[in-house]
Amino acid sequence: MAVVGNVVLIGGSVIALWVGARWLVGGASRLAGAAGVSPLVVGLTVVAFGTSAPELAVSTTAALGGRETFRSATSSARTSSISA
């Protein structure tokens, strides 16, 4: 029974993610169109936000959980390339 619940939860999460992504892109496109911004700039901004949002969420969760020493993959890669 727990497996069925997990499958339903994952399915619902995927649907919510899809709906949210379409809402974000549609809203950004309408807002940019009203402001006269190029569709290329809108697309690049949405991609930039989409790649940064997971790291922001994990960092925020770590900070709220009291794990101040959390390091993201980005900061670790920068540190290792600087020290190498």
**Is 0.85 topped by the overall pTM?**
no
Pairwise CA distance, residues 8 & 10, whole Å: 6
Rounded Cα–Cα distance for residues 44 and 48 (Å): 6
Residue 69 near residue 80, CB atoms below 8 Å: no
HSE at residue 43, side-chain half, CA atoms within 13 A, is: 3
pLDDT in tens, 9-30: 999 999 999 999 899 888 888 8
- Say what angle helices 39-64 and 2-35 make with each other, to 10 degrees: 140
| Residue 6 banded pLDDT, cuts 50, 70, 90 | very high
In this structure, the number of other CB atoms found within 10 A of the CB of residue 45 comes to 13
Segment 44-56, tens digit of pLDDT = 888 888 888 888 8
